[in-house]
């Protein structure tokens, strides 16, 4: 089974170049940490956000100390996982670079077993200024993209994969920051692990739904494993898998009789099934991962009509009016 060690304690931060480290909250952001330490005024009161504009032009460092025991280090693989880093960051573990990031919206992982030690370890995240980094990409592109929302003469937001409203919008001030904004943890596992499950309805009728499970696995080494798909306490399908080191994708098809469909708001109940995937090696159950999914069909209809070509959606065969941004 996977052993997970969350790294949410003992964090400190500082502006790059400063001597003093201040307490930080993870998950969080540099603006909330500065506010809690009395280093900036409340940016949402009157126009006090103007007193925080300097934050976006600085690099920031976050660090924590954590303890790893012998049992964790005996796992075949140990990964450092950041569910979200905002945005340009260089990560080191015990003074060894392990990760470079450039996207706020995705998960980041690094294999770190060889860099860990029993006892105390030090994790350091160096965030580069998103504005100055964006300016570098702007110069390289030699081209300015539209960004009318951005409250700055130099429009860098199109070059930075982070939440755009923080660059300024009609409903909020400009507060361009950084931080470890989602959970961070170590994952230790043996043999193999289930990385992701994607459920795809291949065909759906009132009598039966043929479903395809696309399963991304990651192996520690070459081995023989068995994958099975479960609905509650009932096994629906299974397959023997030859694992290799690294990622691979396996597909398993299964059937749900007389499926209850998922419907959008106003058309019916949004029924969800709990689908589990179990991974076993020759000796034991390695992992069980469960997700919720709805069975439905979604079609975009673009057909000739009296005014040209239609553009509308059908969900489970029923035309649905889509509205909103």
Q: Which domains does the chain have, with CATH numbers?
A: 3-186 (2.60.120.260), 191-296 (2.60.40.10)
pLDDT at 266: 87
**Which among 62, 173, 71 is positioned nearest to 125, based on CA atoms?**
62
- pTM to 2 decimals? 0.88
* Rounded Cα gap, residues 18 and 35, in angstroms: 17
What is the mean pLDDT, run by run of 10 residues, along the chain of 325 residues? 92 96 97 96 90 94 97 94 97 98 96 96 98 94 85 88 90 93 95 93 92 94 93 92 93 95 92 95 88 93 90 92 75
What dihedral do alpha carbons 261, 262, 263, 268 form, nearest 10°? 60
Token pair for residue 94?
């015990």
pLDDT at 282: 83
Token pair for residue 169?
């919008």
pLDDT at 325: 64
* Rounded Cα gap, residues 49 and 53, in angstroms: 7
Q: Which residues neighbour 132 within 8 Å (Cβ) at sequence distance 6 or greater?
A: 57
Q: Which residues neighbour 189 within 8 Å (Cβ) at sequence distance 6 or greater?
A: 1, 2, 3, 75, 76, 77, 220, 286, 287
**Which among 277, 273, 272, 290 is positioned nearest to 215, based on CA atoms?**
277
* Rounded Cα gap, residues 115 and 119, in angstroms: 12
pLDDT at 148: 84
């Amino acid at each position: 089974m996977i052993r997970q060690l969350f790294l949410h304690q003992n964090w400190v931060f500082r502006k790059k170049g400063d001597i003093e480290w201040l307490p930080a909250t993870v998950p969080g952001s540099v603006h909330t940490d500065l506010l809690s330490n009395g280093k900036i005024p409340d940016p949402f009161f009157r126009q006090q956000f103007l007193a925080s504009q300097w934050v976006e032009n600085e690099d920031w460092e976050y660090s924590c100390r954590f303890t790893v025991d012998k049992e964790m280090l005996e796992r075949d693989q140990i990964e450092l996982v950041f569910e979200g880093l905002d945005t340009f960051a260089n990560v080191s573990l015990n003074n060894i670079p392990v990760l470079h990031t450039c996207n706020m919206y995705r998960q980041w992982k690094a294999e770190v077993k060889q860099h860990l030690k029993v006892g105390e370890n030090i994790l350091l995240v160096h965030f580069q200024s998103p504005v100055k980094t964006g300016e570098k990409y702007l110069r390289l592109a030699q081209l300015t993209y539209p960004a009318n929302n951005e409250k700055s003469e130099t429009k860098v937001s199109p070059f930075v994969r982070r939440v755009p409203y923080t660059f300024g919008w009609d409903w909020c001030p400009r507060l361009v920051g950084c931080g470890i904004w989602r959970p961070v943890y170590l994952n230790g596992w043996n043999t193999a692990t289930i990385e992701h499950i994607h459920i795809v309805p291949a065909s759906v009728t009132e009598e039966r739904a043929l479903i395809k499970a696309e399963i991304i696995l990651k192996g520690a080494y070459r081995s023989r494993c068995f994958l099975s798909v479960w609905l509650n306490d009932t096994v629906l399908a299974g397959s023997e898998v030859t694992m290799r080191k690294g990622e691979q994708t396996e597909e398993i098809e299964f059937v749900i009789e007389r499926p209850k469909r998922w419907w959008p708001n106003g058309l019916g109940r949004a029924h969800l099934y709990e689908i589990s995937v179990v991974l076993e090696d020759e000796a034991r159950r390695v992992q069980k991962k469960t997700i919720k999914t709805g069975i439905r069909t979604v079609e975009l209809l673009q057909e000739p009509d009296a005014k040209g070509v239609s553009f509308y959606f059908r969900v489970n065969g029923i035309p649905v009016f889509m509205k909103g941004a």
